[in-house]
Structures are given as C-alpha cells and as structure tokens.
Amino acid sequence: MPAAVPRMRIFLTGATGYIGLAVLDGFIRAGHQVTALVRTTENAETASARGASTVMGDLVQPETYRTAAENFDAYVLTAFDGIGRGAEIDRRTLDTLLGVAAKRAKEHPCAFVYTSGVWVLGQSAQPAREDAPINPTPHVAWRPAHEQRVLEAVAGGVRPIVVRPGIVYGGTRGIVSDLLKNGVNGLIRVVGSGTNHWPLVYVRDLADVYVKLVTRSEASGIYHANDEGDETVNDLVQGIVDHLSMRPDVRHVPLDEARAKLGPYADALALDQRVRSPRARALGWSPALHSVGGNVPRLLEEFRGAERRVGR
C-alpha cells in the first residue's frame, strides 16, 4: 500500500470563491488542515462550516494577513478580483505571500500554488500542452508575468506551481452555469459563430488537481487542468437546449458587437482552444467528467439544487 500523505497545513486565498470553495472542500476531504483568508464575517462562517479555520484580512492590505500567513506547508492562491484593480491586487498578493513562503522555506519545505488560466495560451487550434508557447488574449495579458514571478520562486527554495484551469463548470457559478441559467430563462447568447472549442474542467475534478499538486513533493512548474473533451460552444449549447422542457432562443452575437458590450472579455470567450494536461495526468489525475454536453442533466440538477438552497 502507498504511504499515507502527512496532514498538511494549507493557507488558502479565495476560499469562498467559485474555484476556492471547491479547493477548500478538496483539501478537507483529503484530511488536511486549511486556514482561509476571508474579508467578511459571512465568508468566515461559510469557510468554517466547511471545516476550515479562518483569518480575517484583505488582500488590498497585506499587513492584515502577512503575520497570520507564516509557517504553513503550502500557500494556495485562488482569489481574484475581476473588477477594478484585479491585476494590481494579484501582484501585491504575490509579493506578500511569496515573501512569506521564502521565509518559511528556509526552515521547512513549502509549496506555492498560483491560479492562472488557459487563456494565456491564446488561440490553440492544435492541442496545447504545458510547454506550448503562450500568446495571451488581451483580457489576461498581465498574467504571464505573474506566472513567471511564481516560477522564479524556486530560487528561494519554494516549490512553485502554476495551475491553468480550463473553463470551469458545475454548480451555479461560472461561464457554463451562466449558459444554463440563460437557457432556463429562455435566451442563450453566444459570442461569435460558436464553432470555437472551449477547454473545460468540472469544478470538483479541478479541486483534485490542487490536492495532488500540493501533496506530491515532485510536483513543480506549470500544470494544465482540463477534461480534453474538445467541445465547441455550439456543442455545449445544443446539449443544454436538448434537455430543457421549453426550447430557448439561441442568438449568435457578432464579435464586434460583443466587444462593444464586453470589451476584451469577448475575445476571450471567442478563443478557439484545444488544451491537453499531460503533467497533471502523470500525477495520477483523471477527471471524472469528460463532457458538458453529455452531462447536462446532472449539471442542471446541480444548478437547480444550489438555486433552491440559496432561495431558502
């Protein structure tokens, strides 16, 4: 039998966000101790109810959490403010926690996990592995520098890890859940022709990647995380339409029109990407779900169930 993984102490940012909450649950399921950085009492209650300890602090103010972040086995960053100064706050968080991790590494090995995304690859009609060249869409043009900042931390004794999730699905949050919600409401809008491929990953499968990366001492560098289903946006939409009792209207919005409303985000949604995750799979990761279109009934039930719980 393989040796049991020692219980690790994890410092987690973004613990009540879409990805972060799943990652929190993943570490707790695996028997690890999680300390979540939270800004509000409500978020503290959410994280505590899942089994985490909490630290009240704000990424905008490093002095509110720097000391509390000392002496952990792993630092896992999933937080991102998509409105306003997101890139600036992300950089400040990196500077603060990489400094804390480097100090910790002088006494005890520690891992540092940074959440990026596949949009840094840009167009990738041919399957892109972790060593593929990057050509970030403007919406995430700042991310490669942050990835590199993390990867360079190896010189300070930190075990640096960059995760590039595909478009995450499951539950009530995220881009795919927005399609489900719009379908239920009767109108789905697709940016462009819809013939572009989206790399996708089920949120719980993604959480399992983080657990493997933190607990496997050989894990270091860049890791993609997607189901390799190579589904087009039209495939997703058709799967949703086929499982709704009332057929929604589907409108394909020309890219120029979408840009006028969404800015660079429209170009990100229109990317045609096929992505592969060989390094994650080499660690033994195997996603449980491999298709959105093939799992719409399950995803609709998750979505509706979560909606009902929120509405109580």
**Percent of residues, the chain, with pLDDT higher than 90:** 85
What b/e readout covers 239-253, taking b as 16+ CB neighbours within 10 angstroms? bbeeeeeeebebebb
pLDDT score of 56:
96
Q: Which of 181, 194, 163, 186 is nearest to 277 (CA)?
A: 163
Per-residue pLDDT, averaged over 34-43, amounts to 96
Per-residue pLDDT, averaged over 205-211, amounts to 97
For residue 84, count other CB atoms closer than 10 A to its CB: 8
Per-residue pLDDT, averaged over 281-290, amounts to 94
Per-residue pLDDT band for 252 (boundaries 50, 70, 90) equals very high
Beta bridge partners, 198, equal: 231
Cα–Cα distances in Å, from 117 out to 141, 168, 291? 11, 10, 19
Query: How many contiguous H segments (helices) and E segments (strands) does the chain have?
Result: 11, 15
The model's pLDDT over 116-153, given as tens digits with 9 standing for 90+, comes to 999 999 999 899 999 999 999 999 999 999 999 999 99
Q: Which tokens is 62 given?
A: 């490093």
What is the pTM (predicted TM-score) of this model? 0.94
Beta bridge partners, 38, equal: 56
Per-residue pLDDT band for 269 (boundaries 50, 70, 90) equals very high
Cα–Cα distances in Å, from 178 out to 30, 171, 240, 261? 30, 10, 11, 17
Q: Which of 195, 208, 193, 114 is nearest to 153 (CA)?
A: 114
Segments making up each domain of the chain, as ranges:
9-168+202-227+274-288
Beta bridge partners, 191, equal: 253
Class of domain 9-168+202-227+274-288: alpha beta
pLDDT score of 85:
81
Contacts of 296 (CB under 8 A, 6+ apart): 239, 240, 242, 243
Using alpha carbons only, give the angle 85, 69, 31 rounded to the nearest 5 degrees.
110
CA–CA distance, 305 with 312 (Å, rounded to integer) = 11
The model's pLDDT over 144-200, given as tens digits with 9 standing for 90+, comes to 999 999 999 988 889 999 999 999 999 889 999 999 999 999 999 999 999 999 999
pLDDT score of 15:
95
Q: Which tokens is 113 given?
A: 């996990």
CA–CA distance, 168 with 100 (Å, rounded to integer) = 29
Per-residue pLDDT band for 220 (boundaries 50, 70, 90) equals very high
Contacts of 306 (CB under 8 A, 6+ apart): 171, 172
Residue 13, sorted as left (phi over 0), alpha (psi -120 to 50) or beta, turns out to be beta
